[in-house]
């Protein structure tokens, strides 16, 4: 009777170990790439890709933090609300970014308007900023966005109250 032939075990084991090592390195590399992709997705979920402004949930969170700070230190906050057609939104957001300070918060509302939250700014100051933005938009596009302004605590003590007040003020078309 013939005995079955057995191949040496060592070379096969060595090849398997090399393959496992290669695959493990690839998994580590892919995990890094996944982490980078997740960071990009997280950034996209806080900043609108078209306008560069905070999306509503991110804006609302930051605005509530600023309102809490204003409450604690009894400081004013101005709110500028601008509405325009969707085609002009990117241009208007660029104008807004050129007019606000580092401490200001710019984002889109749940209704698609552009909102600027201006810490340490009165209603009158918010109106000045809003009018500057409108004038710049009129100069560039030939049409200006509608404008509404409000201020904490004068027109409301919550984000929803401030937005409602700005939407219901006499707006300049």
What are the pLDDT digits (tens) for 59-100? 999 999 999 999 999 999 999 999 988 778 889 999 988 888
pLDDT band at 10 (very low <50, low <70, confident <90, very high): low
3-state secondary structure of 11: helix
Above 60 in pLDDT, residue 1? no
Token pair belonging to 57: 């949930």
Distance CA 47, CA 122 (A): 27
- pLDDT value at residue 101: 87
pLDDT band at 4 (very low <50, low <70, confident <90, very high): low
- pLDDT value at residue 42: 67
pTM (2 d.p.): 0.73
Cβ within 8 Å of residue 149, ≥6 positions away: 78, 79, 80, 81, 123, 126, 127, 130, 166, 169
- Digit-coded pLDDT (tens) for 115-160: 999 999 999 999 999 999 999 999 988 888 999 999 999 999 999 9
pLDDT band at 3 (very low <50, low <70, confident <90, very high): low
Sheet holding 77-83, edge to edge: 105-108, 114-119, 77-83, 146-152
Distance CA 121, CA 127 (A): 10
Averaged pLDDT of the chain: 88
pLDDT band at 41 (very low <50, low <70, confident <90, very high): confident
- pLDDT value at residue 141: 86
- pLDDT value at residue 146: 92
Above 60 in pLDDT, residue 40? yes
Provide the CA 66 distance to its chain's centre, in angstroms. 15
- pLDDT value at residue 50: 87
């Amino acid at each position: 009777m013939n005995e079955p032939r057995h191949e040496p075990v060592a070379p096969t084991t060595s090849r398997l170990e090399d393959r496992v090592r290669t695959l493990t390195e690839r998994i580590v590399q892919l995990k890094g790439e996944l982490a980078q992709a997740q960071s990009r997705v997280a950034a996209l979920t806080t900043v609108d890709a078209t306008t560069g402004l905070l999306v509503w949930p991110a804006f609302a969170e930051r605005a509530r933090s600023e309102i809490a700070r204003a409450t604690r230190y009894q400081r004013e906050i101005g709110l500028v609300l601008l509405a325009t057609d969707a085609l002009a939104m990117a241009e208007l957001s660029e104008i807004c970014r050129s007019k606000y300070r580092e401490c200001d918060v710019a984002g889109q509302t749940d209704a698609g308007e552009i909102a600027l939250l201006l810490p340490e700014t009165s209603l009158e100051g918010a109106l000045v900023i809003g009018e500057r933005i409108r004038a710049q938009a009129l100069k560039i596009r030939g049409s200006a966005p509608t404008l509404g302004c409000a201020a904490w605590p004068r027109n409301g003590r919550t984000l929803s109250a401030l937005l409602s007040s700005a939407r219901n003020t006499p707006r300049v078309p």
